[in-house]
Amino acid sequence: MRLPKSQCLKHQLKPPPCYAELAAVEQHEMDLAMFDRFVILTALFTKSSGAQEGAKASKPDASKEVRWEYKWEDTEAAEVHGPYTSEEMLEWQEADFFKAGVFCRKAGTDGPFYSSKRIDFDLYT
C-alpha cells in the first residue's frame, strides 16, 4: 500500500532557504583549503631550494621580501591598506590586532583576498 504524496517523508522535507548560501560557503572553504596547500607548498619549495643554493646572506633580500595588502571587509569598496612586510603582518596577528580577522593578499597582485586567519605569515619571514 502506498502512502499519499502529502504523507510521504520525501515530499515533506525541503532544503532550508539558506541552502544555496551554505553551498557557497562550503565552496569558499574548499577554495581556502586549496590556498592553504598552495601557501605551504610554496613555502616548502622556497625553503628547500634555498637550502640547496646555500645561505648566501643571513637577511633576505628586501626586493624579494613578500609584502601584503589587507582590508577590513571582503567587499570591493573596502579600503586596501599596505603594503606591509610578512614580519609586520605576523606581529600584528600575534598581538591580536586582527582579532576579528582581515582579508589579505600578496601586494602587487590582482588575486582574491583571503582571511588572515588562514595565512601563516611566519612561513614568509
pLDDT class of 100 with cuts at 50, 70, 90: confident
CA nearest 82: which of 69, 65, 72? Answer: 69
Amino acid at 115: S
For 107-117, what is each residue's pLDDT tens digit?
Answer: 999 999 999 99
Q: For residue range 10-38, what is the model confidence (pLDDT) as tens digits?
A: 555 555 555 555 555 566 566 666 666 66
Per DSSP, which regions of 1-125 are E strands? 67-71, 81-85, 103-106, 114-115
pLDDT, tens digit (0-9, with 9 covering 90-100), for 33-66? 666 666 666 666 665 555 455 544 455 566 678 9
Q: Which residue has the cell 586567519?
A: 117
The domain that holds 68 is classified in CATH as 3.30.1490.40
Distance CA(107)–CA(100), nearest Å, equals 21
Structural domain including 26 reads 5-124
Structurally, the chain folds into a number of domains equal to 1
Residue 76 to residue 61: CA distance in whole angstroms? 32
